[in-house]
Amino acid sequence: KQEVTQIPAALSVPEGENLVLNCSFTDSAIYNLQWFRQDPGKGLTSLLLIQSSQREQTSGRLNASLDKSSGRSTLYIAASQPGDSATYLCAVYEETSGSRLTFGEGTQLTVNP
């Protein structure tokens, strides 16, 4: 059974700092990995999607990397801003169960002005 773990569970940083969020998964047979953002009481917003054949994806100040063989992904946020405060979730699509998007429990990020 696929398990997705995110470390740390919570993170508080001063504005302007560069930071890294970590995601690991137990079964490397995945189609893709996605990073989402969730604001309190809201739905999820897709940030980046990395196909299993790719190593990284970039969008603005966000950069996500994928090491499929080791079962790890990182989300790098450059020059963090208070507006980046949210919960960040990673999720994987498995090859063996294409319908299933397995989520980690998320990292709650607070960027202090």
Chosen residue from 23, 66, 75, 89 binding another protein by CB under 8 A: 89
Among 31, 55, 70, 79, binds another protein (CB under 8 A): 31
Cα distance between residue 49 and residue 31, in whole Å:
10
Of 99, 74, 93, the C-alpha closest to 27 is 93
Contact between 76 and another protein by CB under 8 A: the answer reads no
Q: Which residues bind another protein (CB under 8 A)?
A: 4, 31-32, 34, 36, 41-46, 49, 51, 89, 91, 93, 98-101, 103-106
